[in-house]
Amino acid sequence: MTMLALALITLVLHGALTGLFYAFSMSVMPGLNTLDPARAEEAMRGINRKILNPWLYLVFLGSPVAALVAGFVASSVWFFAAAAVNFVGSFLVTMVINVPMNNAVDAGTMSWKEYSPRWTAFNTLRTVACAAGLVLVGIGLTAL
């Protein structure tokens, strides 16, 4: 695989993940907030079950891995920076904050009123981090 192809794949993965998180903060969560809290919780439980699929894993795990590989292949600090920003701002935030909150809503131990604003705030942080990673990949691409 050429470096250009690897860099473009990395760019697409970062763009897809940024778009996924953006869509949740800007449309999915506000839409769910228009529902009765019990219905919103039920809908979110369904979303959380269905989102766990190979396409999510490809984008979610593939973004930082592709950036890291591109950083090694191109000897580029831009790709390493993208991998780091994505790992901390997307992967760690997801695993430490968003997933435990999803589990709490699934178990019925967290109310929608508690869940929605906090989850959305951290999701927006993931969006910003992924967008920053996308910009870093773009800079790395132009530096090839």
Q: What percent of the chain has pLDDT over 70?
A: 100
Strands (E), 1-107: none
The pLDDT value recorded for residue 82 is 98
Task: Report d(CA 18, CA 92) in Å as an integer.
Answer: 15
Distances (CA, A) of 134 to 56, 74, 109, 117, 127: 17, 17, 35, 25, 10
Q: pLDDT tens digits for 98-124?
A: 999 999 999 999 999 999 999 999 999
Domain ranges across the chain: 3-142
Task: Report d(CA 30, CA 24) in Å as an integer.
Answer: 8
Q: pLDDT tens digits for 69-103?
A: 999 999 999 999 999 999 999 999 999 999 999 99
Instruction: Name the residue among 67, 62, 89, 63 with its Cα closest to residue 80.
Output: 67
Q: Is the pLDDT of residue 1 over 80?
A: no
